[in-house]
Structure 1
Amino acid sequence: MNNQTPQQPEPTIPTVRIIKPHQFDANTAQTPGMQRVAAVSRELAGSQSIWGGITIVSPNTASGIHHHGEIETIIYVVSGHGKMRWGNNMEFEQEVEPGDFIYVPPFVPHQEINPSPDEPSQWVIVRNSQEPIVVNLEPFDTTKEKGNADTHNTR
């Protein structure tokens, strides 16, 4: 008769992941006029149900009009000033500045804008899904505010 208690395996402790800027992944769904870069994803961090990334919106740039399907989005303005436009006809607009959080509900058409002639704006984006849902809507008029994905960067 064995009086020893069987040894229980130690519980697995989830690993905290640090993702450095050089590890960010630009291979994610995009919108004209902006470039999203993944920082937290299943591939980069092993996340299960959230996605996080950044975009640096270059001066005098507007994204294309888009929505993210059933996904909720939180945006945090880190630096620079900008505008957020939304609505079925882009009838709503509000200025944003560093420290502002923006909540974008599912299926809401919207557009990120940096009207500054010389100041970039960095925005952190968090979504409640791993799915890269981006529904780009037409038309995208680059004559109102220049959209140029080549001028975006991640540093």
Structure 2
Amino acid sequence: MKQDDSVKPELVEAHEGIKVLRGGGKEFRRGWNGIQYQQGISGRNVGSKNLSINVATVPPGAIAYAHIHDGFEVMLYIVNGKVRHDFGPDLKYSVINEGGDFIYIEPGVPHEVFNIGDEPLTAFVARSTADEWDKIINYPSNYRPEDQKSEAELVTAAK
């Protein structure tokens, strides 16, 4: 899923061995798959080799369609809100988390994210790669519009 995440390196202050993004990148966001991300830091703006972090906001009722993290780990801290992850082969497992919970997602685990609360979900997201946007792969979803089968396809599949 390689795409430009429009990182603005000019927002980063460079010091001797330390780089700072003031205000958590609040003034700059990118959208992906139903989620709004504050810029955060990654290889694209601070030159990190193995890490990236940002803050994700998921509106009530939004879905981050099924995907896989190819070759990198993800750790989340749910700041507030309530989220359901459907995961595993055919997304057959489910877990619900809320504010104060930590989540670890192994590389290659298919998962789909649902904000099941009445408020925006906010999560701190850390990844074990500096180029995460290049390593996200779509996984079949029953909710993603382009994955929906037509009535004719469903009838044909049932035969």
Deviation at 1:64, TM superposition (A): 0.3
Which aligned pairs between 1:142-153 and structure 2 lie closer than 5 A? none
Aligned to 2:141: 139
Report the CA distance between 1:142 and its aligned residue.
Answer: 5.3
**Structure 2 Cα separation of the partners of residues 114 and 139 of structure 1:** 16
Change (3 A) 1:114 1:22: closer
Which ranges of structure 1 fall in alignment gaps of 5 or more residues?
Answer: 1-11, 144-155
User: Is the Cα contact below 8 Å between 1:77 and 1:124 reproduced in 2?
Assistant: yes
**What is the DSSP-based 3-state SS (H/G/I as helix, E as strand, rest coil) of the residue aligned with 2:45?**
helix
Larger Rg: 1
What is the total number of aligned residue pairs between the two structures? 128
Residue 24 of structure 1 and its aligned partner are, at CA, apart by 4.2
Taking only aligned residues, the RMSD between alpha carbons, in angstroms, comes to 2.3
TM-score, normalised via structure 1 length: 0.72
25 and 48 in structure 1: CA distance in 2 versus 1, 3 angstrom threshold: farther
Mapped partners of 1:94, 1:139: distance in 2: 17
Runs of 4+ deviating beyond 4 Å:
none
What SS does the aligned partner of 1:40 have?
A: coil
Q: 1:45: how far off?
A: 2.9
Counterpart of 2:17? Answer: 14
Structure 2, unmatched stretches of 5+, are: 1-14, 146-159
Letter of the 2:127 partner, please give it.
R
Secondary structure, counterpart of 1:44 in structure 2: coil
**Percent of counterpart pairs with the same letter?**
24
Shift of 1:61: 1.4
Separation in structure 2 between the aligned mates of residue 89 and residue 14 of structure 1, nearest angstrom? 44
More helix as a share of residues: 2
Aligned equivalent of 1:151: none
Q: Return the offset for 1:90.
A: 1.1
* 1:15-94 matches, cutoff 5 A: 15-20=18-23, 21-22=25-26, 24-26=28-30, 30=32, 32-94=33-95
Q: Please give the alpha-carbon distance, in whole angstroms, between the structure 1 residues aligned to 2:29 and 2:43.
A: 12
In 1, are the aligned partners of 2:78 and 2:101 still within 8 Å (CA)? Answer: yes
Alpha-carbon distance in structure 1 between the residues aligned to 2:142 and 2:56: 19
The 2-side partners of 1:92 and 1:19 are apart by 39
1:125 and 2:125 correspond = yes
Q: Which has more strand, going by share of residues?
A: 2
The Cα shift of 1:140 comes to 4.4
SS in 2 for 1:89: helix
